[in-house]
Chains A and B, each alone.
Chain A
Amino acid sequence: MTKIKSLADLRKMKDDLRSQVTLREKSQSPEGRVLIKVGMGTSGIASGAKQIMEFFIEELDKRNVDAIVTQTGDMGYSYAEPTVEVKLPDQDPIVFGDVNQKKADDIIEKYIKNGELLDGIIPANYETIDKK
């Protein structure tokens, strides 16, 4: 290890290392952030959910969108895999089906950034325990 010789060096080093813990720091306060869940059941993975998840993680980071991307179990929409649930701050979550890279790109640019709705939304027909 080399010595850190100035405050500027220290700050540069911190910026380089930052990514090691950003995910942990972000998840401490999920409020106010875009939350994205990618359905990762067997059928989801087979239809490319893993690549979609990686695409979201990388692109959101590149495009400076403050988001947390998690995986979740099979959401049950096997006819429309990969499925992605997006929750904008203070809004109800929306599930998108048949998400490929093009659509993922649209989700980021149109829905997340501008709030425009897209085709292929799966109407929410379920309740979670939280809501009860």
Chain B
Amino acid sequence: MAKYKMHMLVCGGTGCRASASDMLYENLKKEVQEQGLDNEVQVVTTGCFGFCEQGPIVKMIPDNTFYVGVQPKDAAEIVAEHALKGRKVGRLLYKDPVKKEQIPDSKHMGFYKKQIRIALRNCGLIDPENINEYLAADGYEALGMVLLEMTPETAIKEVIDSGLRGRGGGGFPTGVKWKIAHDVKGEQKYVVCNADEGDPGAFMDRSILEGDPHCVLEAMAINGFCIGATKGLIYIRAEYPLAITRLKIAIEQAREYGLLGKDILGSGFDFDVELRYGAGAFVCGEETALIRSMEGHRGEPTFKPPFPAQSGYLGMPTNVNNVETYANIPVIINKGAKWFASIGTEKSKGTKVFALAGKINNVGLIEVPMGITLREVIFEIGGGIKGGKKFKAVQTGGPSGGCLTEKHLDTPIDYDNLLAVGSMMGSGGMIVMDEDDCMVSVSKFYLDFTVEESCGKCSPCRIGNKRLYEILDKITKGQGSMEDLDKLRNLSNVIKDTSLCGLGQTSPNPVLSTLDNFYDEYVAHVTEEKCFAGQCKDLIKYEIIPENCVGCTACARNCPVNCISGERKQVHLIDQSLCIKCGACLEKCKFNAVTII
């Protein structure tokens, strides 16, 4: 076997592949061969590095050089310069967004400094399509230990002691869930992995399945042994084709090695995993709706109790856990509950993966210890707000969460703290907003999503959310009244209290939290009919400031509806009756002569 002295890790996640990282991989391989380096340099496709903002990523090992935005045509230069002569290709290095300096390697990147990667440990490290690399990275060791050196009871105790809580959003203690399923009797029990990731902007489950599919299979088998289940099902949305492909490969490889199937590692324990596809409904992330959908029914939630642990898939005891939760399990077994519990806060242990999005410099996937502050996440790891604008709010928890403001920036992030300030952990989406975002429009956006995704089974969610949306729509059009603000709050509370499942119980959160934190903005919309962020088209007007206008005609030339008139070197004028408020004139004006009022 060749002994490689250098590894080139090429990101093979969905984001980087969309920018042709698969072609880049082929080109690198070809160049390495042409330079006669195939016995020295290994080119590997890995899972996501998390730094999706500037993909495709190539990381060089062992010097940790981190190349960003690499195009297939750059392969020749990387091989000739870096692999052959040891010179870094400067133009492809990551540049610090604030200092504008080139950063020589990933160890010096603010993005990675505060991260602790447990669930994402193998993403960007191993080839997800090669079980041997997973085995080399301690893969299936935990399963072996549980099957042959532990009992279901001791393994469950380990998970309980670790303090791991459900990463899908609710935060229910995972070990306790396993214990309940273990204690229930049933002729055929099931283990289900919830890979129906639905929050807008969250993609940690996809990245784990794409970058390290075996760790989820291993954890499911451990889960099966602990509760006495021999069948595992992964409910995954059909919109994740790459994750599905890699899961299928992983299942096939695990079966060939006998790590799935009958009599695993000579322990006498049988376990196998199958895939079930979802059509991408948000409500199917709720476990009872997910189970209904797997059974071939409409994805609608059912009343709890009975809980899935008592009567789940096909009426049998079923344990449902989220992908990220599972990804933590093998590490907990290998390194011990004590080690895991030493990370995080008193009631939230370990780490959490967040998907950073919105008006932030480093968009991407990060894994941080619980208890880190929002400030550290946004300004140190995230690199601050884009374009030097002012931070306004951060939305956590997706459509079920709330908006947090400047005053919450130093709150340590964990399940309970986020709940206390009116948001929630959710699956870990984090959308950052700046001064140009209108909070009424933001909550309208989320309500639009929930109205679309509500399954319609219970009336508070089906009708209530629609009404909420309509009131918000009215406000953004300048037709709201102060009375509407009270109505919003009352209706939100009713929906929260009376909805059947988690979707409806949390859908008013974006409205409530923006009402709490940005009440002035709502008031400005209804009393002054003003949107200070300049987002609500019905409430704004673009005008030209005559003193600043030099008559360059840039605005008139770029106006899509030709509503700006004026001669060269003369002051221009916008015809308000024709203006569609697209903002093109504001963008193009170099003299600050266009303003929003």
Contacts and interface: CB of A to CB of B under 8 A. Distances in A.
Contact of B62 (A17, A20, A26, A54): A26
B136 A20 contact: yes
Interface in A39-83: 39-42, 45, 53-54, 57-58, 68-74
Contacts of B64: 27, 30
A58 to B, nearest CB: 8
B259 A4 contact: yes
Interface string B237-266: 000000000000000010011110000011
B107 A69 contact: no
B137 A25 contact: yes
B144 A10 contact: yes
A100 B144 CA distance: 47
Contacts of A102: none
A17 B86 contact: no
A123 to B, nearest CB: 22
Contacts of B137: 21, 25
A131 interface: no
B7 A23 contact: yes
Interface string B54-78: 0000000111100000000000000
Contacts of A3: 256-258
A113 interface: no
A7 interface: yes
B435 interface: no
A53 B84 CA distance: 12
A13 B5 CA distance: 22
Nearest to A30: B107
B580 interface: no
B145 interface: yes
Given A20-B136, A54-B5, A1 B86 contact: no
Contact of A14 (B86, B107, B136): B136
B48 interface: no
Contacts of B84: 40
B9 A40 contact: no
Contact of A1 (B88, B141, B256, B265): B256
A4 B258 contact: yes
A9 B267 CA distance: 13
A64 B64 CA distance: 22
Interface residues of B, number: 40
B339 interface: no
A57 B138 contact: no
B148 A7 contact: yes
Contacts of B147: 7
Given A5-B265, A30-B107, A14 B138 contact: yes
B247 to A, nearest CB: 18
Given A18-B136, A20-B132, A23-B62, A6 B265 contact: yes
B133 interface: yes
A104 to B, nearest CB: 15
Contact of A24 (B9, B107, B141, B257): B9
Nearest to A14: B135
Contacts of B256: 1, 3
B135 A17 contact: yes
B310 to A, nearest CB: 34
Contact of A70 (B63, B141, B145, B148): B63
Contacts of A38: 86
Contacts of A129: 104
A19 interface: yes
Contacts of A110: none
Interface in A107-132: 129
A33 to B, nearest CB: 10
A23 to B, nearest CB: 6
Nearest to B125: A24
Interface in B1-59: 3-7, 9
Given A21-B137, A23-B7, A73 B87 contact: yes
Interface in B121-144: 125-126, 132-133, 135-141, 144
A23 B9 CA distance: 12
Contacts of A4: 257-259, 265
Contacts of B139: 14
A21 B136 contact: yes
A30 B258 CA distance: 36
A42 B257 contact: no
Nearest to B112: A28
Contacts of A18: 136
A27 B5 contact: no
A72 B85 CA distance: 7
Contact of A17 (B4, B107, B132, B148): B132
Contacts of A11: 141, 144
Contacts of B253: 1
Contact of A73 (B7, B85, B125, B133): B85
Contacts of A9: 265
A71 B60 CA distance: 11
27 contacts: A1-B256, A1-B257, A3-B257, A4-B258, A7-B265, A9-B265, A14-B136, A14-B138, A17-B133, A20-B133, A20-B136, A21-B125, A21-B137, A24-B7, A24-B9, A24-B125, A26-B62, A27-B62, A38-B86, A42-B85, A70-B86, A71-B86, A72-B63, A72-B86, A72-B87, A73-B87, A73-B88
Given A21-B136, A24-B125, A71-B86, 8 more contacts: A4-B259, A14-B139, A17-B136, A18-B136, A21-B133, A27-B62, A39-B86, A72-B87
**5 nearest CB pairs, A to B:** A3-B258, A71-B86, A40-B86, A73-B87, A17-B136
